[in-house]
Structure 1
Amino acid sequence: MLFLPLLTLALLSVAFAEPRVSPLVTHEKRSHTPAGWSRSRRHDSAAVLPLRIGLVQSNMDKLEELLLDVSGPESANYGKHWSAGKVAQTFAPSRETVDTVREWLGDSGIEPSRIKLSGARTWIELNATIEEAERLLNTEYHVYSHFTGKEHVACDSYQLPEHVSKHVDLVLPSIHFDAVIKRDNNPSGHTLRNIGQPGVGLKPKTTGTVSSILNQLEACDQQITLICLRALYGIVYEPVATSKNSYGIVEYTPQAYLQTDLNMFFGNFTPNLVGSSPKMVSIDGGYAQTEYTGFDYNGESDLDLQYAMSLVDPQPITLYQTGDMVEGASFNNFLDAIDGSYCTFEGGDDPNYDSIYPDPYGGGYEGPEDCGTATPAYVISTSYGYNEADLSPAYAARQCAEYAKLGLMGTTVLYSSGDDGVAGNGDLCLNSDGSQTANGTMFNPSFPGTCPYVTSVGATQVNPGASVAEPESACMQVIYSGGGFSNYFAMPSYQAAAVEHYLTAYPPPYTASQYNATGKSRGFPDVAANGANYVVAIDGEFELVFGTSASSPVTGSILTLVNDARLAAGKSPIGFINPTIYSPAFTGAFHDITTGSNPGCGTIGFNATAGWDPVTGLGTPDFPQLVARWLALP
């Protein structure tokens, strides 16, 4: 299983028993100091540290089994999705877990009045001096400095008593560093550095403006427009269950659409939508900012909304605009808003990764953190991503579990797989010590695409000189489809046969020093869609845009139409789709992509082959086949 198993321990039942003695074990350890940081000094022993202990959730060892029960096409419970209350109840920490951690703290000299248990019983917190924290965790805390001037408190590793370690997921603050620096000394004066910020994480690419729009099937190898996508994937369908259905697009401020750009695109391709806007749900101060414009600020959101709104018309689109202009936001800030139980799950947000609201520094959003304030759509597409190595395994596992819970509740979660082939964002590769550099030689998988509970979407292209009637290839213009094998997550059972076939029939010509060659790790992407030469209206001009940033919202649009057909027939939404699409019942429901590769890290990457491959997954959608097969399910 992917997460620490919940192992039950016998509790002491005799009153006034001696404190339990068990050997110390290393709970988490960091292999290197992240780039840009350096240790500056030992922390003051009298300083106060807000110590937070994330408790192991119940039934996490059954997470995949429970999700398969409602998502596997052969299950008698297929489509019988859970309520949010059932999810929270099922995974709440056991009394034994809470009591074990409390007793350890008490035995260590922490007065009971100082120990606070969160409302969801998922988090124990206390304010401890550095001296106390170091004694509790058998570690040393240091202050680290970033080249931007920011300081951060961390340790290299920490230990827990063996009997306590089994009940704890992670302790904060400890080994973790910022995934992205949020505030810096950017000479432009714009201090935000986060997901959505230019130059940070996954983002679309452009080759510049389009002198004339071709908009004809014969030119789809040069420009992708709506008619090309409809022809490629057989999208002929008009939604009829729009009041029952929902499709969400997630954007992170300062990324924002311009209404003038939407109108410009709609005027050329979907005239009845001129003047239409998505239904915006503001999360933690998010809004469609207009202070900063240009491709780096408007390109992603314009791309996502112009194509998604057009392909699912007249189905309304919900825009989850996340984070303000000062603090920004992380994926966890979004997840907090659509699932109230997640706000406190395993201790809630990590201030080293996630933006905290109200803004503790001043100048940002001063309202309360959004927690359970937004309804999750049936399909949610996100065109942003981290490198898996940006995050600790414990942090990634914590978030990945939330995607499984959304699947249990009937939501399909899509993420772009990345645009740098087997390299990570910024074309960075891994070194043996876990650091990331441009000259690294180890493949650098993306996240959340490697989480086995999301559907990861790669990119294809219409080959130069080819028509839409000919097979696409893996995208090899401007970007390369992200793909490979996780270094954090085990192979889920639903894809075992597909991945094993690939590794046996087409063994990659690389060694274990280059990628996770165990044959037991999660492979990605799961599916693909066109990611090259999109015509997008941006800041009053049409530009050619490339990226899995386009592939994900297009795939989400197609799955939203499938949901419409099922809802119109009185059936449930498709929810977590991976067990279904990998099943024999869906063989032939995707256009298999067998040419192209995804270069990176000094290699040609993996090859697209017959069947699943770590470049284009199972292939691109065949909408008529998908609708027919999903309608055949209960």
Structure 2
Amino acid sequence: MLTPLFLGLAISLSLATAGPPISPRIAHEVRRSAPARWTPVRRAGPDILLPLRIGLKQSSLDSLESYLLDVSHPESPNYGKHWTPAQVAETFRPSAEAVEVVRDWLLASGLNSSKIKLGPTGGWIQATVTVTEAEDLLSTEYYIYQLNQGDEQHLACKEAYHVPQHVSKHVDIITPTLHFDKKIKRSDPAGSIPRIAQFGTGSAMEMLVDPVEDIGSNATGLDNCGSQMTLACIRALYDFEYKPIATHKNSIGIVEYTPNVYIPSDFDEFFGNFSASQVGQRPTLVSIDGGTLDVNETDISWFIEPNLDLQYAMGLVGKEQKVTLYQVGDVIGNGSFNNFLDALDGSYCTFEGGNDPAFDGIYPDPVPGGFKGPNQCGGAPLPYVVSTSYSDDEPFLTPAYMQRQCAEYAKLGLMGVTVLYASGDGGVASNSGDCLTEDGQEDPGAPRFLPSFPSTCPYVTSVGATQVNPGAKLTEPETACDQHIFSGGGFSNVFAMPDYQKKAVRTYLEKYPPPYAPDIYNATSRAFPDISANGANYLVVILGSIFHVFGTSASSPAAAAILSGVNDARLAVGKGPIGFINPAIYSSAFEGAFNDITNGTNPGCGTNGFSAELGWDPVTGLGTPNFPKLLQRWLDLP
């Protein structure tokens, strides 16, 4: 049912009224050039229709961090008093003034009032315009970009777009403009807008090594964990021997993006070897925007990530705890982070519950085999812990886009959700080995470190990778992972350093100053990872064979399972979930609760990267989980 405010806004959008004088235009977003390997090949046709979407500034965002700290910091009297979705939606709803100012600007620019619509949550305004109209409105030029050595194309404006100064303060972001963040559809209908190739929401580049012919007695043994990581090894490493008792209250989720899917029969073989009581068990599927397991694929690459994530998350939490699989996007391979966030939080959705068709999956999907239903807008169950082993490079997106998405992770934290992301497998470089030139371009021979997103968002928990050294015993300390992958870590070029980690990072930089020029990395910004877990030699069943798999892709679901155990214990005694954990784990209340990793580096960009040292470091964060200590610290909190 629409509130009086929404009814008034909807009515006002249908009326053509004279707006205020247009103030001077200013650049709202700028990027000096397209992402690496993308080249403008021609001007966009003037009559191409663009579904222009204007993301309005949300109310109270300047208080978002303080709200989150209020329910997340162990010294706060409101620790653990998480918000309801309705509280979140009402607190951050854009103001009526923002709607009116943007509407008046569009009308004064000559757009017909019938073209201008307000989304149901009040967060976005849509206006379907031609390229010519968009160029006039935004003082920019649209081009068709093409991926070098490929036929993928994308429509975007060049270098910058502009809005009147008095409008700018009410606008977060306008799309489609400068953003290159769309997963490719493997086929598109004739005459559709050219789309971008698959971006970094692929896996965190987990490394698949040759099949394991014989696991011997190591299915449940601990003698060969340095070369064969199993459920038993993870449990022993982190003293995670816990039998859940509040499973009906608890929840944990794993996010996958179609056509990356798990193979049911592989689960039976995996559990048959490593957790016999779970043979026949499957995750609970929550399909988002046509998410399906039926993809008719044969390439092993599509099955690595989901099999890894789910075999270990399910195996570690045990038979009694339900694990939810959020399968995002249809068989065309069109899902994105935003599609997932839309489904969790209806207030995040764009116009009519969809997204921008230049970047995110839009449904109904006209491609044969595509999902014919509408975009999901809210309604998906909120997990208490959610792990995602997919990432992107910061330079591939724009700051405004990342900041808007990052704010949504903070809202999930307000609602009691712990959000984990794999930190990446390229050390201080990207997963593909790229680094940054002086002007911010991605290039494998460049000198500047390249951070990954969403790990650089200060409202998620970033998980790096460690290893048991070959031949070492489990009682010996782990080191930073250096087999096949390097733990992603470093400093953001977009997000400021949050208060909760300033002391820990300052201590690292003062005691162990990295030997690099100031322009190689941004020492004043958000640092990552926050924690780490083993990421080497995981035994995973894929297409009926057991493989070694490496990566922070393994670390994140393992850490999620352990934190889910903490939630179970708290829920069992009548307390709430741990929610956003970063303010707690960086506080003095959690000192010594992680296994500190003091050996290893994360090379990249022609350097040794950073070094793992005493205390927090930008390789392994605060260290790996010590479950009994973490459990007691969180049980001591309200």
Q: Determine which of 572, 579, 583 is the counterpart of 1:579.
A: 583
Letter of the aligned partner of 1:209 in structure 2?
P
The answer for the alignment partner of 2:610 in structure 1 is 606
Paired residue for 2:509? Answer: 503
1:118 maps to what in 2? 119
1:59-92 residue CA offsets vs partner (Å, 9 max, x unmatched): 1111111100111111111111111011010001
Instruction: Indicate the residue corresponding to 1:10 in structure 2.
Output: none
Residue ranges of structure 1 left out of the alignment (5+ in a row): 1-15, 186-190
Corresponding residue SS for 2:51: strand
User: Hey, what's the Cα distance between the residues in 1 that align with 2:134 and 2:46?
Assistant: 9
Alignment of 1:232-381 (within 5 A): 232-289=237-294, 291-313=296-318, 314-344=320-350, 349-381=355-387
Task: Report the Cα distance in structure 1 between the residues aligned to 2:352 and 2:603, rounded to whole angstroms.
Answer: 37
Cα deviation digits, residues 460-479 of structure 1 (max 9, x gap) = 00112221111111001111
Q: Is the 8 A contact 1:54 1:346 kept in 2?
A: no
CA distance in 2, matches of 1:326, 1:129: 27
Matches of 2:203 and 2:212 in 1, distance apart?
A: 26
In structure 1, how many angstroms separate the alpha carbons of the residues matched to 2:45 and 2:293? 43
1:541-560 aligned at under 5 Å gives the runs 541-560=545-564
Q: Aligned-pair distance for 1:193?
A: 5.8
The aligned counterpart of 1:89 is: 90
Q: Deviations over 1:389-444 (max 9, x none)?
A: 12111111111111111100001000100011001121111222322122222111
The residue identity in structure 2 corresponding to 1:520 is: T
Partner of 2:472: 466
2:160 to 154, 157, 160: 157
2:258 & 2:280 partners in 1: Cα distance? 22
Select which of 449, 452, 466 maps to 2:455. 449
Instruction: Report the CA distance shift for 1:117/1:427 in structure 2 as closer, same or farther (over 3 A).
Output: same
Q: State the shift of 1:351 in Å.
A: 2.2
Q: Which residue of 2 aligns with 1:617?
A: 621
Residue 308 (structure 1) shift: 1.1
Moved more, 96-105 or 273-282: 96-105
1:540 maps to 2:541: no
C-alpha distance in 1 between matches for 2:224 and 2:543 = 24
Contact 1:460 1:474 in 2 (8 A): yes
Aligned 8 A contact 2:539 2:546 in 1: yes
Larger displacement relative to structure 2 (620-629 or 299-308): 299-308
**Percent identity, aligned pairs only?**
58
Q: CA deviation at 1:284?
A: 1.3
User: Any gaps of 5 or more consecutive residues in structure 2?
Assistant: 1-16, 189-194
User: TM (normalized to structure 1)?
Assistant: 0.92
Most deviating of 131-140 and 494-503: 131-140
Query: What SS does the corresponding residue of 1:585 show, helix, strand or coil?
Result: helix
8 Å CA contact retained: 1:54, 1:123 = yes
Written as runs of structure 1 = structure 2, the 5 A alignment for 1:123-202 is: 123-146=124-147, 147-183=150-186, 194=198, 200-202=202-204
CA distance in 2, matches of 1:39, 1:227: 52
Q: Match of 1:202, as an amino acid? A: A
1:179 Cα deviation (Å)?
4.4
User: Would the aligned equivalents of 1:293 and 1:539 in 2 still touch at CA under 8 Å?
Assistant: no
2:387 and 2:44 map into 1 onto residues whose CA distance is: 42
CA contact (8 A) 1:294 1:539 kept: no
Query: How big is the shift at 1:510?
Result: 1.0
CA–CA distance in structure 1, aligned partners of residues 481 and 224 of structure 2: 17
CA contact (8 A) 1:154 1:177 kept: no
| One-letter amino acid of the counterpart of residue 114, structure 2 | S
> Is the CA contact (8 Å cut-off) linking 1:183 and 1:193 kept in structure 2?
no
User: Could you tell me how far apart the structure 2 residues matched to 1:162 and 1:257 are?
Assistant: 49
Spell out, residue by residue over 1:534-555, the C-alpha distance to the aligned partner (whole angstroms, 9 max, x if none): 1111111111111111100000
Checking the alignment, whether the CA contact within 8 Å between 1:67 and 1:408 is kept in structure 2 is yes
Q: CA deviation at 1:582?
A: 0.5
- 2:11 match: none
Measure the CA separation in 2 of the matches of 1:347 and 1:248.
22
Identify the match of residue 208 of structure 1 among 206, 210, 215.
210
Of residues 414, 417, 420, the one that matches 1:411 is 417
Asked if the contact 2:419/2:460 (under 8 Å) is kept, the reply is yes
Instruction: State how far apart, in whole Å, the 2-side matches of 1:453 and 1:354 are.
Output: 22
Output the amino acid matched with 2:166. H
8 Å contact from structure 1 (residues 158, 174) kept in 2: yes
Q: Which residue of 1 aligns with 2:445?
A: 439
| Residue in 2 that maps onto 1:527 | 531
User: Which stretch of the first structure deviates more once superposed, 283-292 or 367-376?
Assistant: 283-292
Q: Specify the alignment match of 2:485 in structure 1.
A: 479
What is the CA-CA distance between 1:506 and the residue it aligns to? 1.1
In the alignment, is the contact (CA less than 8 A) between 2:183 and 2:334 conserved in 1? no
Q: Distance in 1 between matches of 2:97 and 2:24?
A: 19
Range with greater deviation from structure 2 (153-162 or 326-335) = 153-162
The SS at the match of 1:219 is: coil
Deviation at 1:46, TM superposition (A): 4.5
Counterpart-to-counterpart distance in 2, 1:243 and 1:165: 47
SS at match of 2:223: helix
* TM-score normalised by L of structure 2: 0.92
Report how far residue 527 of structure 1 moved. 0.2
Q: Take 1:285 and 1:50, find their aligned partners in 2: how far apart are those partners?
A: 22
Alignment CA distance shift 1:274-1:124 (3 Å): same
Partner of 2:390: 384
User: Is the 1:458–1:525 Cα contact (8 Å) retained in structure 2?
Assistant: yes
Cα deviation, residue 201, structure 1: 4.8
- State the 1:129 CA deviation: 3.3
For residues 530 and 45 of structure 2, the distance between their equivalents in structure 1, rounded to whole angstroms, comes to 48
Q: Secondary structure at the match of 2:631?
A: helix
Q: Structure 1's 206 and 361: CA in aligned 2 closer, same or farther, altered over 3 A?
A: closer
Alignment-mate amino acid for residue 449 of structure 1: S
CA distance in 2, matches of 1:18, 1:310: 60
1:347 positional shift? 9.1
2:342 is paired with a residue whose SS is helix
Counterpart of 1:115, as a letter, is I
**Distance change in 2, residues 1:327/1:271 (3 Å):** closer
Give the equivalent residue in structure 2 for 1:13: none
State the distance in 2 between where 1:42 and 1:222 align.
54
Deviation at 1:598, TM superposition (A): 0.2
CA contact (8 A) 2:19 2:104 kept: no
Aligned length, in residue pairs: 610
2:54–2:125 CA contact under 8 A, matched in 1:
yes
1:33, distance to aligned residue in structure 2 (A): 2.1
Q: Quick one: which amino acid aligns to residue 550 of structure 1?
A: A
Aligned to 2:33: 32
8 Å contact kept, 2:533–2:559: yes
Contact 1:55 1:346 in 2 (8 A): no
Between 45-54 and 77-86, report the one with greater CA deviation.
Answer: 45-54
> Does 358-367 or 73-82 show the bigger shift?
358-367
In structure 2, how many angstroms separate the alpha carbons of the residues matched to 1:174 and 1:111?
A: 21
Instruction: Output the CA distance in 1 between the equivalents of 2:389 and 2:176.
Output: 29
